[in-house]
Structure 1
Amino acid sequence: MKISLHLYSLLLLLLVSINGIAKVKLPYFFADNMVLQQQTNAAIWGWAKPGTSISIQTSWNKAKYTTSADAQGKWKTAVATPAAGGPYSISISDGEAITLQNILIGEVWLCSGQSNMEMPMKGFRDQPILGSNDAIFNSANDQIRLYTVPRAVQRLPQDTSKQSAWKICNAETVGGFSATAYFFGKMVQEKLKVPVALINISYGGSPVEAFMDAASLKAFPEIAVPAANDTNKLNNRNATVLYNGMLHPFLGFSIRGAIWYQGESNNERAAQYEKLFPAFVQQIRAQSKQGDFPFYYCQIAPYNYFNFGIVNTTAANSAYLRDAQRKALKTIPNSGMAVLMDLGEEFNIHPADKATGSKRLAYLALANTYGLKGFAAESPAYESMSINGNSITLKFSHAPNGLTAYGKKLMQFEIAGPNKVFRPATAVINAGNVIVTSPEIPNPVAVRYAFKDFVVGELYNTEGLPVSSFRTDDW
């Protein structure tokens, strides 16, 4: 009798364990307070006992969806979402229902990068965000939802990220959230008057290859990818590790687009970044299976990289990395770049004015993704040059009403002759063009603008958007 009772107890524990495993589970980002992308077929997925039938019901249209867990226990389906609104609920059941509450339908944006995206509204220690206290004080808005994927370094791609939760935007929740993402989302929400979700996947000090998968990096054999059986300790500077631990679990979640602020940790490899960065964008678009969704990024701000003890003058000059980002606009479809030439700080790699950079990202999204008109969104961009005797005339796009230095003399242009030696130049604005000359260079062949590590931009279109540093040469 004792043996029978013992066996019965073991069987009961086994059944409880099996039932616990069988209960439907979801990634942490499918949860109360989330936002689903409006007017799309939004993917929802999770895990259950292999072969289990999963039913999903959405409250906005009472529709029911049915799918089954595969041999590994994974299941996935898509639900049709209406125009923006809510709150709604979603019920997911494998026989025992889970109900997700207070769900909104609206605009979902992925916000990713390194420390300048990660930098929270409250600032880093001894490094403030300009105007943050007032912004936090006035931040309460239940139509803005915040989700941060926790930092994670992984050797292999993960199906789920570390635990986190959706937060409703208010003074208590926004202080620890990305300032760049928040200021962007606030402007988009106020202009569109629909719910906005901001999903922050960022990790300070990380190169772009940390956000890429091993397959995408095969085109870059000079980048070491940690082997699956490697026992060396990993950190966020290793290739693939943030893709594996933070980005991969999220890919497939329906989004409107992405904003990105990264590049500082690739500063010494500008030529490589010119190809690496577009490859990253192509990868996440392909794996998200949502076409060429809008991708807007911040050009890194000027900063004195000699603070890091770099002795190679060319490698330390962040203008080369900014130039790689400028050129990427032509190779990344449906993209835009927020120029930050006037926001950098010589001795702080984390500029305090995050609101202005975010506003420029929002201008790009509101104009190019949402079709709003009547305002400028693109910074003027160097387009072409023509040599006329001892002068070079530079033409710019995105300056329909011309250029300005706001009454100041242009001081950051340089000009070179056939010997490739640059000299300070005189530059004047004339009918929307810039004419560059120097008495030292009678036969000019090339021009550079603000092509220094740290510099404060001086040239704008009349709408107030700054020109990126650029060079007409490829020396």
Structure 2
Amino acid sequence: MKIKSRKTKSSLVLGLLLVISCSGVRANISLPAIFGNHMVMQQNAEVKLWGWGKPLEGVKVKTSWSADTLHTVVTQNGNWSVSLQTPSAGETHEIAIQGYNKVEIKDVLMGEVWLCSGQSNMEWSVDHGIINGEEAAREAENNEIRLFHVVWKSSPYPCIDLDGQWVKCTPETMRPFSAIGYFFGKELNKKLNCPVGLISSNWGGTPIEAWIPEYEIRSRKKLNDAANKLPHFAWAPNEVAYTYNAMIAPLLPFSIKGVLWYQGEANVDNAYVYTDMLELLVKTWRDKFNTEFDFYYAQIAPFMHYQNDDGVKVRDAQRRALDRISNSAMVVLSDIGDTTDIHPRKKIDAGKRFAQVALNKTYGYEEYPVSGPLFKDYLIKENKIEVLFDYSDGLYCSDKKLTMFELAGEDLQWYPAKAVIKQGKVVVSSGKVSRPVHVRFAWTNAATPNLFNKYNLPASGFTTLEWRNVKHSL
């Protein structure tokens, strides 16, 4: 018994010494990966800088653009944060964070920060093989474009950090980066004459559900049921929130100007909820980023190998989301797609179209076009239907005759129709439909419409029939 007592006492003493020893260890101030050398911070904004340290550790933050030193204390949970007011673009800056240790962030630029997210078409790079990509890569040296590529990871729970680092844009760093993101940023940098920071966070084959917090979907029966319909594939996670948790949550609330989104191909199995899902994603991300950022998204391109009319339903659901999401726009890609390849190779053109939208709607350069013709309304005139479009200036047909319009009566049977452009509207008629009720346009998975406006941008397909409320089996 005495021997055990000595051992017990020795263990207690050793444990006490360890506690005392550990209490004297100074924890290191550290930062999430999104804060690092060569980064771009959103100019003229109040931005949050955050990190970790030892509870009650004093933290001082000093920036090269301000004479003030900010002070804070690490919380009992090991977190700290400060708010910084950033200046306009123009100079290179440094940030010093002093706690028990010192962390310095160097070569910081102020500019415009955009998040590029979605699945493989946003992910595709010069390395994947895009048209004219090699020539563009050779000319990609640009110190005012900075790139941050988020490494693929998934998680069932929200993460506090991710893998990635800021790099200067060079031919070597541009090649594996999102092509659409880069060409978008290149156009912005050229027109705005200021640095552009691009964050690429995407994963090919992921459905939209993987990019939305779990509780947002599980608490909505219709969306939860639809999420359960998604098939499982070997190349990407499809579980609700898994990529949001690992590839978006750790960025929050890093200050951004806007989001580019190209996704939808993985949601052909539950297209009827895509409008709701996209609206929910934007609402949730805006809440989490704590800003009403602009949201511009691609309508998925035509592709012949979708089943039934699943592809065109996703495109229509995306079009309908425009009425539900403020500060948004949709980039139509039907004329620069490839109906035999789900990955169109004209990423330079796609990136430029995204840039045109942003330059107009975000930065106020009205000479840049926003969209091709978008369905606005329709008027039934006896045996004809007149279709009205937004962005209809200079409406024209690129072929000898306008095609892909169809009419349906009360029996909802669709028939090909004659379509003629008159005074900025399209007048549609069919000898087989004496009393038309509905009209649709380009309603096939591989449809490449021949209706354009004066900016040579294509019209989006549409249908006036509300197909999303049809009962769907699980």
Over 3 Å counting, the alpha-carbon distance change for 1:53 and 1:396 in structure 2 is same
Q: What is aligned with 2:42?
A: 37
Structure 1 length normalisation: TM-score?
A: 0.90
Give 1:290-309 correspondences, 5 Å limit.
290=291, 292-306=292-306
In the alignment, is residue 103 of structure 1 matched against residue 108 of structure 2? yes
What does 1:1-16 correspond to in 2, within 5 Å?
none
Asked if 1:47 corresponds to 2:52, the answer is: yes
> 380, 405, 421: which is aligned to 1:413?
405
Q: Following TM superposition, by how much is the alpha carbon of 1:408 offset from its aligned partner in structure 2, in angstroms? A: 3.0
Equivalent residues of 2:147, 2:198 under 8 A apart: yes
RMSD of aligned Cα (Å): 2.2
Q: 2:209·2:227 contact (CA, 8 Å) conserved in 1? A: no
Give the Å deviation of 1:52. 0.6
Question: What does the per-residue CA deviation read over 1:8-45, in whole Å, with 9 as the maximum and x for residues that have no partner?
Answer: xx9699559933xx110111110000000000111110
Give 1:357's match in structure 2, choosing from 340, 350, 370.
Answer: 350
Structure 2 residue aligned with 1:222, among 218, 221, 225? 225
SS in 2 for 1:55: strand
Q: 1:66 matched to which residue of 2?
A: 71
Identity of paired residues, percent? 37
Deviation at 1:261, TM superposition (A): 0.4
Aligned to 1:392: 385
Given that 1:402 and 1:431 are in contact with CA atoms closer than 8 Å, whether structure 2 keeps it comes out as no
Q: Which amino acid is the alignment partner of residue 305 of structure 1? A: H
Deviation at 1:411, TM superposition (A): 1.7
The one-letter amino acid of 1:86's match is E
Counterparts of 1:18-417 in structure 2, within 5 Å, are 18-19=25-26, 22-123=27-128, 128-162=129-163, 164-217=164-217, 218-219=219-220, 220-222=223-225, 236-290=237-291, 292-306=292-306, 310=307, 313-314=308-309, 317-399=310-392, 401-417=393-409
Q: Is the deviation greater in 249-258 or in 92-101?
A: 92-101
Following superposition, the deviation at residue 263 of structure 1 comes to: 0.7
Question: What is the alpha-carbon distance in structure 2 between the residues aligned to residue 113 and residue 364 of structure 1?
Answer: 18
Cα distance in 2 for partners of 1:253, 1:23 equals 22
Q: Distance in 1 between matches of 2:145 and 2:373?
A: 31
The 8 Å contact of residues 260 and 297 in structure 1, kept in 2 or not, is answered as yes
The residue identity in structure 2 corresponding to 1:53 is G
CA distance in 2, matches of 1:144, 1:17: 44
What's the CA shift string for 1:215-271, capped at 9, x where partnerless?
21111332569xxxxxxx995111111111111000200011111001111112111
Could you tell me whether the CA contact under 8 Å between 2:204 and 2:236 is conserved in 1? Answer: no
Contact 2:359 2:368 in 1 (8 A): no
Structure 1: which amino acid aligns with 2:426? Answer: V
Shift of 1:90: 0.4
User: Does structure 2 conserve the Cα–Cα contact (< 8 Å) formed by 1:402 and 1:433?
Assistant: no
Look up the equivalent residue of 1:68 and give its one-letter code: V
The change in CA–CA distance for 1:78 and 1:433 in structure 2 (over 3 A counts) is same
Q: Secondary structure at the match of 2:243?
A: helix
Counterpart Cα distance in 2 of 1:408 and 1:239: 47
Does the residue aligned with 2:420 lie in a helix, a strand or coil?
strand
Structure 1: runs of 5 or more not aligned: 226-232
Residue 96 of structure 1: how far off its partner (Å): 2.0
Mapped partners of 2:33, 2:94: distance in 1: 16
Deviation at 1:321, TM superposition (A): 0.7
Asked if the contact 1:34–1:104 (Cα under 8 Å) also holds between the matched residues in 2, the reply is yes
1: CA distance, partners of 2:34 / 2:293: 20
CA–CA distance in structure 1, aligned partners of residues 105 and 297 of structure 2: 33
Equivalent residue number for residue 456 of structure 1? 448
* Separation (CA, whole Å) in 1 of partners of 2:224 and 2:259: 27
Cα deviations by residue, 1:187-218 (Å, 9 ceiling, x for unpaired): 11111000000001101100111011122111
Conserved 8 A contact 1:343-1:456: no
Letter in 1 for 2:122: M
C-alpha distance after superposition, 1:381-420 (max 9, x if no partner): 1111112222111111112x33011343112111122221
The answer for unaligned runs of 5 or more in structure 2 is: 1-9, 229-233, 468-474
Asked if structure 1 preserves the Cα contact closer than 8 Å seen for 2:335 and 2:448, the reply is yes
TM-score, with structure 2 as normaliser = 0.90
Structure 2: which amino acid aligns with 1:373? Answer: E
In 2, the alpha carbon distance for the partners of 1:168 and 1:63 equals 29
Structure 2 contact 205–236 (Cα < 8 Å) conserved: no
Code of the aligned partner of 2:190 = E
SS at match of 1:215: helix
> Structure 2 CA distance, aligned partners of 1:150 and 1:183?
21
- Relative to structure 1, the CA distance from residue 197 to residue 418 in structure 2 (aligned partners, 3 Å threshold; closer, same or farther) is same
| Counterpart-to-counterpart distance in 2, 1:42 and 1:98 | 18
Structure 1 residue 440 displacement after superposition:
1.8
Q: AA paired with 2:184?
A: F
Secondary structure of residue in 1 paired with 2:126: coil
Kept in 2, the 8 Å contact 1:153–1:234? The answer is no
Relative distance call for 1:323 and 1:17 in structure 2 (3 A) is farther
**C-alpha displacement at 1:85, in angstroms?**
2.1
The question of whether the paired residues in 2 share the 8 Å contact of 1:341 and 1:469 is answered with no
Offset at residue 83 of structure 1 (A): 0.6
Contact 1:153–1:235, Cα closer than 8 Å, also in 2: no
Which residue matches 2:471? none
* Residue 439 of structure 1 pairs with residue 431 of structure 2: yes
> Does the residue aligned with 2:339 lie in a helix, a strand or coil?
coil
Looking at structure 2, the residues matched to 445 and 384 of structure 1 have their Cα atoms a distance apart, in angstroms, of 13
In structure 1, what is the Cα distance between the partners aligned to 2:278 and 2:150? 22
| In structure 1, distance between residues paired with 2:213 and 2:274 | 16
1:189 is paired with a residue of what secondary structure? Answer: helix
